[in-house]
């Protein structure tokens, strides 16, 4: 899978390129902003990350040109944050919009989701799990929501990963304990309760109170 990066700020372009490569995808970094369409036609990427503010012609122009020949997924990246800009990005043929500055985890969650939706691409790394705007990054061991981030301990990561993967289902305490033991975290019942309490506190810190629901006598649930 090839991702084409149309971004004139070299620092951001290099950061995004490194992140894409880290996730096992190929990055194509555009540096000639007069030949974006020609580069697209030559490289035939599977997805495009398109900045709006570019030299000569802006991202809207290039999106329109690309849309004349292709339905390739396009995610706009911009420091612009007004509703008008976001609506215009969608109306010009964009599939998603991400505002600068951004967490690379949020960017990759959007890239992965769009690749899966477009290509049914099961090989896209699944270390990012998203539910109701909350993103769990298993590689980095953190939770992101609304441009805020909290770090998790190893035990909290195992518990939250289990809950996120089974969102909409009740996960019993017994199942959690078993998962922790399999991960060589030998916790007792009281330790599990303490970790659930800490998880809830961390979620509250980033504005997600009551994200984890207790089902008395059954276990825990992320609705």
CATH for 136: 1.10.10.10
Regarding whether 67 and 158 lie in a shared domain, the answer is no
pTM, to two decimals: 0.66
* Residues 108, 8 within the same domain: yes
Spatial neighbors of 170 by CB under 8 A, at least 6 apart, are: 215, 218, 219, 220, 221
Together in a domain, 202 and 132: yes
Residue 27 backbone phi and psi in degrees, to 5: -105, 140
Q: 85 and 10, same structural domain?
A: yes
Distance CA 192, CA 198 (A): 10
Query: Of 84, 119, 154, which marks where a domain is finished?
Result: 119
| 105 and 151, same domain (yes or no) | no
If asked whether residues 115 and 6 sit together in one domain, one would say yes
Write down the pLDDT at residue 124. Answer: 46
Last residue of a domain, one of 119, 137, 168: 119
Last residue of a domain, one of 119, 140, 175: 119
Q: How far apart are CA 91 and CA 67, in angstroms?
A: 11
> Quick one: 64 and 148 in the same domain?
no
Q: 111 and 44 in one domain?
A: yes
- The answer to whether the beta carbons of residues 144 and 164 sit under 8 Å apart is no
Q: For 125-162, how does the pLDDT look when each residue is reduced to its tens digit (9 = 90+)? A: 457 788 888 989 887 899 988 878 999 999 999 999 99
Q: How far apart are CA 141 and CA 191, in angstroms?
A: 19
Who wins on pLDDT, 181 or 62? 62
8-state DSSP, 197: H
Residues 10 and 115 in one domain: yes
Name the domain count of the chain: 2
The tokens for 90 are 């969608």
| Domain of 38, in residue numbers | 2-119
The verdict on 114 and 132 lying in the same domain is no
Same domain, 149 and 49: no
pLDDT tens string 83-124: 888 888 888 899 999 999 999 988 998 998 898 888 865 544
Average pLDDT over residues 49-68: 93
- State how far the alpha carbon of 5 is from the alpha carbons of 24, 46, 196, 204, in Å: 15, 11, 40, 35
């Amino acid at each position: 899978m090839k991702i084409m990066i149309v971004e004139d700020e070299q620092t951001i372009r290099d950061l995004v390129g490194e992140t894409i490569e880290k996730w096992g995808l190929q990055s194509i970094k555009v540096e000639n902003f007069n030949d974006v369409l020609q580069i697209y036609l030559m490289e035939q990427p599977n997805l495009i990350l398109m900045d709006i503010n570019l030299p000569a012609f802006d991202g809207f122009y290039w999106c329109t040109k690309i849309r004349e020949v292709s339905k390739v997924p396009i995610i706009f990246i911009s420091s612009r944050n007004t509703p008008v800009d976001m609506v215009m990005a969608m109306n010009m043929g964009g599939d998603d919009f991400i505002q600068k500055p951004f967490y690379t985890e949020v960017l990759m969650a959007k890239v992965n989701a769009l690749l899966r939706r477009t290509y049914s691409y099961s090989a896209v790394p699944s270390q990012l799990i998203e539910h109701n705007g909350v993103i769990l990054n298993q590689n980095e061991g953190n939770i992101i929501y609304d441009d805020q981030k909290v770090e998790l301990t190893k035990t909290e990561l195992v518990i939250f990963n289990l809950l996120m993967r089974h969102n909409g289902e009740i996960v019993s305490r017994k199942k959690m304990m078993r998962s922790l033991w399999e991960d060589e975290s030998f916790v007792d019942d009281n330790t599990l309760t303490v970790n659930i309490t800490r998880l809830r506190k961390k979620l509250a810190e980033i504005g997600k109170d009551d994200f984890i629901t207790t089902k008395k006598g059954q276990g825990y649930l992320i609705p």
